[in-house]
């Protein structure tokens, strides 16, 4: 009988800890992530972040809330939480397959850092515009009527059931801004269908591109765009997602689209703070 109080105490402690976490539970956890060398690379605990020079003033250091199984975090992290009770701390080692995957050399890409485009281009100045697009903007549609589009004046030069033919009213020497360029150009020649345009961006200026800032260098014949990059810069691609610049020279840039922790075995120290929903 003397062992009964110890048994009751154990049951009370277990009961106080609550039920273990299971798949589809909503939980809050604290965590510390370390690499194979024991270096802390991520944490949601402010004191730990400051101790290891990871503190980011733009980040909120609060418990991580997640739905187990939703895959908002790596799979191995979720699996480690299953079976834990509130207040419990567990340390798990995750191989690459359970963390950020293997390192794929096929996700390293080299592309041009410098783009060259002709400064003088030939553009069609006779446009075919869907009739329905103009009917809501004009009181009537008749041959010879003027039409303003993006600050340019056109005249209706052709009509069909579905389309309206517009001809730009311009002459050599006029300034024009082409639809796909952020700088002005000058019309240097024009005929019945086409116009020759010299693009006139300001030399040695910096512009924003989808890949970051770039320097414009202008010659008589070319517009040269050079991306202003450094090793470690972030590069975004519609095909590959987000990558990191790992090498560059005067003409090319190499981007690694692997996750920075791909191919690495990681250790996570996880504390289950509470189970919000079961």
At 104-162, the pLDDT tens digits run 999 999 999 999 999 999 988 888 888 888 887 888 888 989 888 777 788 988 898 88
Residue 148's pLDDT is what?
83
Judged by DSSP in three states, 200 sits in coil
Percent of the chain topping pLDDT 90: 67
Say whether pLDDT at 9 is over 50.
Answer: no
Torsion angle defined by CA atoms of residues 156, 161, 163 and 168, in that order, rounded to the nearest 10 degrees: -10
Q: How confident is the model at residue 16 (pLDDT cuts 50, 70, 90)?
A: very low
Say whether pLDDT at 11 is over 70.
Answer: no
Say whether pLDDT at 35 is over 90.
Answer: yes
Measured CA to CA, the distance from residue 234 to residue 240 in angstroms comes to: 12
How many residues comprise the chain? 278
Query: Regarding predicted confidence, which is higher, 133 or 44?
Result: 44
Say whether pLDDT at 5 is over 60.
Answer: no
In order of 28, 42, 201, 211, the CA distances from 34 in angstroms are: 20, 7, 50, 32
Residue 176's pLDDT is what?
87
- CB contact at 8 A, 217 and 206: no
- CB contact at 8 A, 119 and 220: yes
- Its CATH class, for the domain covering 126-169, is mainly beta
In order of 35, 45, 178, the CA distances from 192 in angstroms are: 68, 70, 18
Asked if domains 4-103+261-277 and 126-169 share a fold, the reply is no
CB neighbours (10 Å) of residue 224? 16
Percent of the chain topping pLDDT 70: 94
* Pair of tokens at residue 167: 């001809």
pTM for the full predicted model: 0.69
Spatial CA neighbour of 42 closest among 8, 70, 77: 77
Q: How confident is the model at residue 7 (pLDDT cuts 50, 70, 90)?
A: very low
At 218-227, the pLDDT tens digits run 999 999 999 9
* Residue range 68-82: mean pLDDT, rounded: 97
**Extents of the domains making up the chain:** 4-103+261-277, 109-117+203-256, 126-169
Q: Does the domain spanning 4-103+261-277 belong to CATH 3.40.720.10?
A: no
Q: How confident is the model at residue 17 (pLDDT cuts 50, 70, 90)?
A: low
**What one-character-per-residue DSSP string does 19-76 give?**
PPP-TT-EEEEEEEEE-TTS-EEEES-HHHHHHTT---TTS----EEEETTS-SS-HH
């Amino acid at each position: 009988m003397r062992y009964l109080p110890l048994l009751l105490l154990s049951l009370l402690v277990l009961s106080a800890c609550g039920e273990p976490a299971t798949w589809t539970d909503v939980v809050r956890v604290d965590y510390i992530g370390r690499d194979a060398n024991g270096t802390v690379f991520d944490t949601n605990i402010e004191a730990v972040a400051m101790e290891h020079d990871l503190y980011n003033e733009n980040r909120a250091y609060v418990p991580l809330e997640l739905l187990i199984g939703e895959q908002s975090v790596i799979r191995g992290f979720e699996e480690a939480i299953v079976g834990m009770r509130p207040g419990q701390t567990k340390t798990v080692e995750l191989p690459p397959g359970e963390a950020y995957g293997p390192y794929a050399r096929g996700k390293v890409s080299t592309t041009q850092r410098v783009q060259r485009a002709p400064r003088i281009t030939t553009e069609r100045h006779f446009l075919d515009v869907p009739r329905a697009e103009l009917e809501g903007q004009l009181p009537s549609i008749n041959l010879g009527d003027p039409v303003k589009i993006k600050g340019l004046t056109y005249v209706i030069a052709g009509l069909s059931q579905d389309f309206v033919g517009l001809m730009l009213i311009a002459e050599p020497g006029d300034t024009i801004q082409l639809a796909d360029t952020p700088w002005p150009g000058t019309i240097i020649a024009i005929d019945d269908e086409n116009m020759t345009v010299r693009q006139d961006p300001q030399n040695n200026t910096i512009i924003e591109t989808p890949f970051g800032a770039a320097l414009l260098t202008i010659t008589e014949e070319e517009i040269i765009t050079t991306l202003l990059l450094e090793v470690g810069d972030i590069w975004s691609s519609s095909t590959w997602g987000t990558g990191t610049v790992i090498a560059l020279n005067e003409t090319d840039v190499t981007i690694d689209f692997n996750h920075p922790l791909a191919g690495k075995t990681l250790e996570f120290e996880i504390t289950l703070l509470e189970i919000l929903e079961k």
